[in-house]
Amino acid sequence: MKRKVRMGMVGGGPGAFIGNVHRMASRLDGKIELVAGAFDIDPVKSKQTGEELCLDSSRVYSTYKEMIANESALSADKRIDFVAVTTPNNWHFPIAKDFLEAGFNVMCEKPMTMTLDEALELQKIVEKSGKVFGLMHNYVGYPMVKLAKDMVKNGELGKLRKVVSIYPQGWLARPIEKTGQQQAAWRTDPKQSGAGGCVGDIGSHAENLAEYITGLKITELCADLTSFIEGRPLDDDCNCLVRFEDGVKGVIYASQISVGEENGLSIWVYGTDAGIEWHQEHPNQLLYKPIDGPVQILSRGNGYIGTKSPAAVRGSRIPAGHPEAFLEAFANHYSNFADTILLKEEGREVDPIIGDFPQVHDGVRGMAFIETVVASSRAGSVWTKMPKV
Ligand code: NAD
């Protein structure tokens, strides 16, 4: 790897949440440098963020279209290598499409698009472009999640039977969107969020985590969506029974009205020989529960992790007992994404451990999940097959 990968950003203006997380995480390993951006829907605020970040003002843009035009005109050793799309959901598809078609790699926030049709179209565009496309399902960037996946793959749980994947939050228990709270306002608006509210925003993380760790696809589901806040047009609570391939059964639920819960993403996977359990709020530990022995607490950064999961080792930076968490999980995806861009540029093979970050197909699965949940619930909570995508 002979050079830094040059990043541009769309979104992440003043008061925004996730854009700044991308900025912090992308520079954690020194592989990526932010050089350009169209940071806000308001051009004045975009300039403000550019100034705060001490960027060259000629590369702080009023719109993402202006960014594509100007960056494309720069020489290959100056222009951005990729764009990070950190806007609300309704902008993901047009921005990702335009940058890919202009020859740029893309790192996109989830959910990938507004509809499954758009997701399938984007998949075709990514394939045609030959560019690298990353999707920020950050929770599969945690080392102990990678360990869990490898333990399942290595047969340490026996034959899988049951998966429970949950994501409770409580921050939308009151109608804070009516107070103008920025993140709540667009998340509860179908025109900006899509057909799913809570299920799209965080249910898709629970789905992605379950499919990543088990390596199994959800085949059908039975869902019950509720909007507990009067007048809120999208669900704020999602309860879902799921069936996976190979006869595995499970439960996925997500909620934004579970008062007192913060970011309680957790997963339990049970096989014939053992169970495992992981909690996002305590991400450095994975519980391993063998059928004939005591519960074991596997802890990130220890040597014994390496014998089970090289991917978990690659995703750790500091010794055991010094916690790593949210930012590092984002950074793991960025590190793999940046290495993949450079390897492809050099015409070299991408090792599967480096290629281990969510990509366009994960986005297609996520959109299929959201649409199937909404369809099942609207039909009166009936078992509904997932599209074969
Ligand atoms: P936010 O409202 O805090 O920020 C959105 C930013 O995008 C704002 O600065 C806004 O001005 C800007 N923007 C909107 N349209 C734009 C456009 N056309 N051009 C340029 N800038 C534009 O939203 P957020 O909470 O940061 O969420 C943004 C995205 O990130 C959403 O898709 C959300 O689902 C996702 N997200 C993911 C995670 C995660 O854990 N992976 C967490 C939070 C949010």
Distance set, CA 276 to CA 49, 214, 248, 287 (Å): 43, 11, 15, 5
Q: Which atom of ligand 1 is nearest to the CA of 45?
A: 11
Tens of pLDDT, residue by residue, the chain (389 residues)? 589 999 999 999 999 999 999 999 999 999 999 999 999 999 999 999 999 999 999 999 999 999 999 999 999 999 999 999 999 999 999 999 999 999 999 999 999 999 999 999 999 999 999 999 999 999 999 999 999 999 999 999 999 999 999 999 999 999 999 999 999 999 999 999 999 999 999 999 999 999 999 999 999 999 999 999 999 999 999 999 999 999 999 999 999 999 999 999 999 999 999 999 999 999 999 999 999 999 999 999 999 999 999 999 999 999 999 999 999 999 999 999 999 999 999 999 999 999 999 999 999 999 999 999 999 999 999 999 999 99
Domains, in order of start, for the chain: 5-139+334-358 (3.40.50.720), 140-320+366-384 (3.30.360.10)
| Ligand 1 close to Cβ of residue 41 (< 6 A) | yes
**Cα 16 to averaged position of ligand 1 atoms, centre (Å):** 7
**Cα 327 to averaged position of ligand 1 atoms, centre (Å):** 17
Q: What is the per-residue pLDDT for 1?
A: 52
Strand order in the sheet with 82-85: 32-38, 5-10, 82-85, 105-108, 133-135
**Cα 11 to averaged position of ligand 1 atoms, centre (Å):** 6
The protein residue whose alpha carbon is closest to atom 40 in ligand 1 is: 138
**Cα 3 to averaged position of ligand 1 atoms, centre (Å):** 29
**Cα 93 to averaged position of ligand 1 atoms, centre (Å):** 13
**Cα 68 to averaged position of ligand 1 atoms, centre (Å):** 19
- Which residues, including other chains, have CB under 8 Å from residue 378's CB and lie 6 or more apart? none
| Ligand 1 close to Cβ of residue 110 (< 6 A) | yes
| Ligand 1 close to Cβ of residue 193 (< 6 A) | no
Distance CA 320, CA 212 (A): 24
Q: Which atom of ligand 1 is nearest to the CA of 95?
A: 18
Q: What is the per-residue pLDDT for 308?
A: 95
Enumerate long-range contacts of 274-278, CB under 8 Å, 24 or more apart. 274/156, 274/157, 274/158, 275/157, 276/148, 276/151, 276/152, 276/157, 278/142, 278/144, 278/145, 278/148
CB 260 within 8 A of CB 150: no
Distance CA 132, CA 81 (A): 10
**Cα 111 to averaged position of ligand 1 atoms, centre (Å):** 11
Q: Which atom of ligand 1 is nearest to the CA of 139?
A: 40
Distance CA 117, CA 125 (A): 13
Q: What is the per-residue pLDDT for 243?
A: 98
| Ligand 1 close to Cβ of residue 40 (< 6 A) | yes
Q: What is the per-residue pLDDT for 2?
A: 83
The protein residue whose alpha carbon is closest to atom 43 in ligand 1 is: 18
Q: Which atom of ligand 1 is nearest to the CA of 182?
A: 2
Instruction: Say what the pTM is.
Output: 0.98
The protein residue whose alpha carbon is closest to atom 5 in ligand 1 is: 87
The stretches of the chain forming alpha helices (DSSP H) are 18-26, 43-52, 64-73, 92-101, 116-129, 143-153, 182-187, 190-193, 198, 204-214, 303-308, 310-314, 326-345, 360-378
* Strand 218-226 versus strand 384-385 pairing type: antiparallel
Sign, CA dihedral 152-155-156-158, equals: positive
**Cα 341 to averaged position of ligand 1 atoms, centre (Å):** 24
Q: What is the per-residue pLDDT for 5?
A: 98
- The best mutation among 9, 45, 46, 86 to test binding of ligand 1, ranked by most ligand atoms within 8 Å of the C-beta, falls on 86
Distance CA 55, CA 39 (A): 12
Distance set, CA 13 to CA 17, 39, 108 (Å): 9, 5, 16
Q: What is the per-residue pLDDT for 135?
A: 98
| Ligand 1 close to Cβ of residue 113 (< 6 A) | no
